[in-house]
Structure 1
């Protein structure tokens, strides 16, 4: 009998992965699979498997039409650790790959625009909203400029604003000749949400009482009337004599503003949730209670 024929007749012996011969072990870490699944599940649950910009919903099959995007790249561990040390991301946050607060759902088109640094998303603290900025002035994206993307800021897995800020700075670097442009307030959402399961995030558009004017010290931008005083970089459309506009600036050019933003990020529900999830609870009951109070900031009474 030939060697080839003998090999074909060899019985197949079932083995557990951990009992395979040396060199044939299953190398994929099971915890890696679990963490990746948790990332996918939590991002999908938060965004309802819909693009946060245009609302396109994922469909079944090999081409769902909506993808999960990492805000900071999945291989950027060094940057992620740096943000933790700077206090821009919680110390107990998961890895850059597995942290759901570093991910969003985007349709194929907007995923390409996001990775191509054509737009960025900015967190507006006083309004408690995430806003779409078409910094590259791409024509197809102009209808979303200054609109609120559908991300619930009160959700425990809401994206970390610092992740978006890093992506913003890269977008600014890709378009050095583009400048900040005004957009009108009150803010409206980038698309209409009909699904009541979103828990009220359809109402993120604000109203005439929403304070999104950030003039003065510690401000995020400038407001102006319809005469164009809001910015020298672009003339806002004339829609009324009392129309107000918001212009975002580069926070890295204002250290005091950046520091105030960092302090505000640490008060958000997602920050506290990330720290709670990262606790190991290896100490005594008293030690764990003290750690919980220190991280979350609740009273012991």
Structure 2
């Protein structure tokens, strides 16, 4: 049994549906690094690598793209109350040097699969070194209010698809399993302390060689359709942006960016409005 991560069919409802739960901890001054550390247990979310000298706090939308971030705010892909592109923890993930290089060179993307409630690694570039992770759930706990914004992952996915325009959507096996160092109960194993990835290579952060890029591109030539498919239908895009605003990470960001200097009754009214609770 397989499932293929094609572009979202946004007219079928909210593709990012979560169950309701209370936002219990709000911090208006949480730093980028501490927010990611708290969420991901200071491990590479892909391979579980845990050596601090080879771990990086990585921006999903590059930290220099202030204009892109502002456009995403203005267009409703991330909350207007979100911190800057450089300081927003929900624009970041923890990666080892190797997977940081692959992420920054658009070799893979991370897709939230609502039916399975897991974030899944998609090796869209078909890189041999990444295939061991393809179709597996990574270390991003779906219940955390500091999860990366879905809009940030969507933008990165569109860039990956654009980087490999002739590559088909790839099927993944069902049911979805965790990456190898996490057991089926979601518990992290001892393999997170390893110094090398499953391909036996060190984490020195080197991107793919020219010969590998050449092989990968030649494999993709003539294969099916490419592109992101998200800009074809304005109503679909609006449905997608509406679904972003319903997520706990979005609501937490809005609450962090809200002033609570009013009276108790005023603040209670703000809280009810933000959480869409009738008075």
Per the normalisation by structure 2, the TM-score is 0.70
Contact 1:46/1:157 (CA < 8 Å) preserved in 2? yes
Unaligned runs of 5+ in 2: 1-27, 189-222
- CA distance in 2 between counterparts of 1:98 and 1:74 reads 8
Determine which of 144, 148, 171 is the counterpart of 1:182. 171
2:98 is the alignment partner of 1:109: yes
**Match in the other structure for 1:72:** 61
2:46 is the alignment partner of 1:53: yes
Contact 2:120/2:138 (CA < 8 Å) preserved in 1? yes
Q: Which has the higher contact order (CA 8 A, sep 6+)?
A: 2
**Match in the other structure for 1:193:** 182
Contact 2:47/2:179 (CA < 8 Å) preserved in 1? yes
The alpha-carbon deviation at position 129 of structure 1 amounts to 1.8
Figure out how many residues of one structure are paired with residues of the other and give that number.
Answer: 216
Larger Rg: 1
Residues 128 and 264 (structure 1 numbering): CA distance in 2 closer, same or farther, change over 3 Å? farther
Determine which of 82, 102, 123 is the counterpart of 1:93. 82
Residues 274 and 79 (structure 1 numbering): CA distance in 2 closer, same or farther, change over 3 Å? same
The alpha-carbon deviation at position 296 of structure 1 amounts to 1.9
- CA distance in 2 between counterparts of 1:92 and 1:156 reads 15
Contact 1:148/1:187 (CA < 8 Å) preserved in 2? yes
- CA distance in 2 between counterparts of 1:81 and 1:282 reads 26
2:155 is the alignment partner of 1:162: no
Determine which of 255, 266, 269 is the counterpart of 1:276. 255
Q: What RMSD over aligned residues (CA atoms) do the two structures have, in Å?
A: 2.6
Unaligned runs of 5+ in 1: 1-33, 195-199, 204-232, 235-248
Determine which of 262, 270, 275 is the counterpart of 1:291. 270
- CA distance in 1 between counterparts of 2:96 and 2:229 reads 27
Per the normalisation by structure 1, the TM-score is 0.65
- CA distance in 2 between counterparts of 1:122 and 1:256 reads 21
Determine which of 25, 37, 40 is the counterpart of 1:44. 37
- CA distance in 2 between counterparts of 1:68 and 1:285 reads 38
- CA distance in 2 between counterparts of 1:250 and 1:139 reads 26
The alpha-carbon deviation at position 253 of structure 1 amounts to 4.0
